[in-house]
Amino acid sequence: MISDNLPALQVVLPLIAAPLCLIIHRPKLVWLFALFICLISLGISIELLSAVINTGPISYEMGDWAPPWGIEYRVDKISGFVLLIVSMIGAVVMLYAGKSIEHEIAPHKQTLFYSAYLLCLTGLLGIVITGDAFNIFVFLEISSLSTYTLVSLGKDRRALTAAFQYLIMGTLGATFILIGIGLMYMMTGTLNILDLAQRIPEVLETRTIRAAFAFLTVGICLKLALFPLHLWLPNSYAYAPSSASAFLSATATKVAIYVLLRFVFTIFGVTFAFEIMPMGTVLMLMAIPAILIGSTVAIFQQNIKRMLAYSSVAQIGYMILGISFASVTGLTSGILHLFNHALMKGGLFLALGGIAYHMGAARIEHFKGLGQIMPWTMAAIVVGGLSLIGVPLTVGFISKWYLVLAALEQGYWPIAVVVLVGSLLAVIYMWKLVEAAYFNNVEPSEVVVKEAPLQLLIPTWLLIGASIYFGINTDLTIGVAQQAAEMLMGAGQ
Amino acid sequence: MGILVVTGLSIVFIRDLFAVVILFGIYSLVSASFFVNLDAVDVALTEAAVGAGISTVLMLGTLALTSRREKKSSHGSTLPLMVVVVTGGALIYATLDMPYFSDPSDPIHHHVAPRYIQQSGEEIGVPNIVTSVLGSYRGFDTLGETVVIFAAGLGVLSLLGRFGKRPEIALPSPSMSHHLILRVIAKALIPLILLYGLYIQFHGDYGPGGGFQAGVIFAAAIILYAIIFSTESAQKVISPFVIHLLMSAGVLLFAGVGVVTMLLGGNFLGYNVLAHDPVHGQHYGILLIELGVGITVTSVMLSIFFDFSDRKRIRSIEEQ
């Protein structure tokens, strides 16, 4: 019975846990409870992904109503893969949050943080697993509202402005998505994604569907912070609590990219999006400045969390660039990078949290001599940085390799150059940290600071370690990404 | 429609925020009557209760915390104006190929909807089809919406509230109980409003209504009491702790129904298994989840209102 209901439990479990947090109330207990829930979620998503790989897509009828009348939950290779990313990061960051939140947030608000965190997890998992377009919107709202809460709980007062800015941009994005879904419903009479995919081709030529396509694309691109719609991202990530930055940077934008893939490839189909509408060109024209400008701005940041946030803008550019080729290799590189970037950026933000734990913030001047004081944390940052740059044996290399392959496959060699320049810019901003940390002597007054606590180091190294492991042993990730890419490309033909 | 446009324009141009809030209320009320014209009574009821009712009160609460005048914006308005024009243009472009309004050959009338209209009577047995769709066919969306409300309450609580912290101060909050007329009328009205809320809650199966609207109406009655008498006397009746508990309880009741259906061998929120007769099962299920929605909506609205009013009191103490 339990195994039949796994798809529902994946989302319902954290959903029920979030209000229970308010009832349990004592922060320590709440954390243990939330951690427990996150671990079960991770278990469920592993189980679901392996079931999908072995036996094919799983469909689950909410309320026992057959789709398209009821809401369908549908796990296929790509959604299973993204579910795994989200729940894995969710569990690792929750492990980290116990110590870090205790330090960063006033006691009476800690419970609220955990509750909002679980809600956010619910929302993100719900977006990925559902097979219903309107249900995506509902869960998008859950994840967005709880994200604003998470950001606003940051210690710095600027977190409030950042959260407000995010709220305005996020609401705009959500409204656009809702308009798009509404227009599609008007033309097809259905909300189920597979059903939409079947019925859209009949009405593809209408202006209403074109407008729906445009609204959806713009709305989702706002959510995934594609240049130039990224303005909400740097401040939100910079001022949110450390655990929230790590969780959001590793999951929220990834889920938005998943939604983009779903709508563009599954519903509208490759032919419509890339041949009739100029989707490929538009995405490429935004992805290239995202990479170049994002990386360049990152170099000039003094607040290192902000620097990593701008680097995220650039990394999102890589993913979108891969998708814009609309080829199997390109999509593979995009999907791979979803996973790989989640590992390295999550790990990096966690490491920064370790530094902020003692220093109160993570600005460039705090890094002086840290190579000696916090060797493990700094080592994590260096490894994560190498991965951002794309050095062989790290996950960053694998995704960039596929991206360059995809570019060359279509004869776009200038794009390969852009990827290379992006890597060089990443070398510059990461080198700033290395220089500060290893080539500066420690001033005696600062020696009081110690290595970050183990409870912070272990989760950090779990993610950083995984980013090396999956850089060497690529069978699982590349295999799944490639199959998912083939499925998406096949769906539109 | 004309009134809508005029109200919308005046909202943009008037700088007195108090007037703007009232105009928002008018805007919602006009849209509500517009929805009634379109035969969407459930939507109209929601718009009237939420848009014209509770959100006006909450916005007034915000005004009490901030200032009444709009600040001069430092940004230029060219870029936003361009975005608005482009969006509007795209929307008009989209209407060009839309099916004609109320044309019986529209795709929406031919795919999913016919089954809702023709078979919901046998499958669910609730006369109000909207309730069948909201409560059962797409019940999971409704659970999601309830969680959205919960998340909103959580957000306001984390920003303004004093969750779990004991209040250090006891300054009497402003009350209007010296106004004889207000007091007498409020006393006469509040029980009626509560009764009406209950009617909307439990009559949702047969007529327009349901948990969302009822929750808002119920909360409005208590807020009216708090405004006229005082926040403390309202909080004596229903303490913040209880409110936070109820916020969770509503969501848990809704999701709990789903868990029970899973334990009984159905899918999540598959109410058929709740009783021997599937139609009865549907009835129980819908009744329970609507109650869950009502509880969460009421308590979240109250929580937000009390957060605002407590904030006001704390600030006025700091100023002294």
Q: Which of residues 102-141 of B touch A (CB under 8 A)?
A: 106-113, 115-116, 136-141
Do the Cβ atoms of A406 and A419 come closer than 8 Å?
no
pLDDT band at B72 (very low <50, low <70, confident <90, very high): low
pLDDT for position B320: 58
Residue from the list B97, B112, B265 with its beta carbon closest to the beta carbon of A207 = B97
Strand partners, A132: A192
Say yes or no: A417 contacts chain B, CB-CB below 8 A: no
Neighboring chain B residues of A22 at a CB cutoff of 8 Å: 244-245, 247-248
Greatest Cα pair distance in chain B = 68
Tell me the C-alpha to C-alpha distance, in Å, between residue A297 and each of A294, A310, B261. Answer: 5, 7, 53
In angstroms, what separates the C-alpha of A205 from chain B's closest C-alpha?
9
Main-chain dihedrals φ then ψ at residue A73, nearest 5 degrees: -100, 135
Grouping H, G, I as helix, E, B as strand and the rest as coil, residue B155 is helix
Using N-to-C axis directions, what is the helix angle for A232-239 and A242-261, rounded to 10°? 150
The gap from C-alpha A311 to its chain's centroid, in whole angstroms, comes to: 13
Q: Which of residues 165-184 of B touch A (CB under 8 A)?
A: 165
Neighboring chain B residues of A207 at a CB cutoff of 8 Å: 93-94, 96-97
Do the Cβ atoms of A338 and A404 come closer than 8 Å?
no
**pLDDT tens digits along B24-70:** 888 888 888 888 888 788 888 888 888 888 888 888 877 777 766 66
Per-position DSSP letters for A19-36, written without gaps between them: HHHHHH--HHHHHHHHHH
Q: Can you tell me which residue has the tokens 């970050």?
A: A452
In angstroms, what separates the C-alpha of A28 from chain B's closest C-alpha?
14
The residue of A11, A112, A150 whose CB has the most chain B CBs within 10 angstroms, and thus the best one to mutate to test that interface, is A112
Q: Pick from A305-319, B83-97, B109-123, B301-315 the range whose average pLDDT is largest.
A: A305-319
**pLDDT tens digits along B146-156:** 999 999 888 88
Tell me the C-alpha to C-alpha distance, in Å, between residue B62 and each of A166, A406, B258, B307, B311. Answer: 20, 53, 37, 10, 10
Tell me the C-alpha to C-alpha distance, in Å, between residue B56 and each of B20, B50, B59, B62, B189. Answer: 10, 8, 5, 10, 19
Nearest Cα to Cα of residue B162 among A31, A111, A158, A165: A111
Neighboring chain B residues of A206 at a CB cutoff of 8 Å: 97
| Averaged pLDDT, groups of 10, chain A, 493 residues long | 81 91 87 93 92 88 82 88 92 90 84 92 93 92 92 85 89 92 87 86 83 90 86 87 90 92 88 83 89 90 90 91 89 90 92 84 79 86 90 88 89 87 90 84 62 85 90 86 86 45
Round the CA-based radius of gyration of chain B to a whole number and report it.
22
Contact B144 A63 (CB under 8 A): no
For the ranges A31-35, A379-383, B120-124, B164-168, the lowest mean pLDDT is seen at B164-168
Neighboring chain B residues of A60 at a CB cutoff of 8 Å: 267
Say yes or no: B43 contacts chain A, CB-CB below 8 A: no
Counted across chains A and B, CB pairs separated by less than 8 A come out at: 184
The pLDDT > 90 percentage for chain B reads 1
pLDDT for position A91: 93
Say yes or no: A285 contacts chain B, CB-CB below 8 A: no
CA distance B249 to A391: 51
pLDDT for position A316: 92
Do the Cβ atoms of A446 and A76 come closer than 8 Å?
no
pLDDT for position A139: 93
Residue from the list A63, A113, A191 with its beta carbon closest to the beta carbon of B270 = A63
pLDDT for position A493: 39
Say yes or no: A119 contacts chain B, CB-CB below 8 A: yes
Residue B168 has pLDDT above 60, yes or no: no
Other beta carbons within 10 angstroms of residue A73's beta carbon come to 25
Contact A68 B164 (CB under 8 A): no
Q: Which of residues 264-303 of B touch A (CB under 8 A)?
A: 265-272
Q: Which of residues 137-196 of A touch B (CB under 8 A)?
A: 138-139, 141-142, 145-146, 148-149, 152-153, 160, 179, 183, 185-191
By CA distance, what is B161's nearest residue in A?
Answer: A109
Record the tokens describing residue A167, joined without a space: 């709220």
Tell me the C-alpha to C-alpha distance, in Å, between residue A274 and each of A69, A89, A194, A197, B25. Answer: 31, 32, 20, 16, 45
Say yes or no: B199 contacts chain A, CB-CB below 8 A: no
Say yes or no: A203 contacts chain B, CB-CB below 8 A: yes
**pLDDT tens digits along B187-234:** 888 889 888 888 888 877 777 777 888 888 888 888 888 888 877 777
Q: Which pTM value belongs to this model?
A: 0.91
Residue B101 has pLDDT above 70, yes or no: no
By CA distance, what is A151's nearest residue in B?
Answer: B155
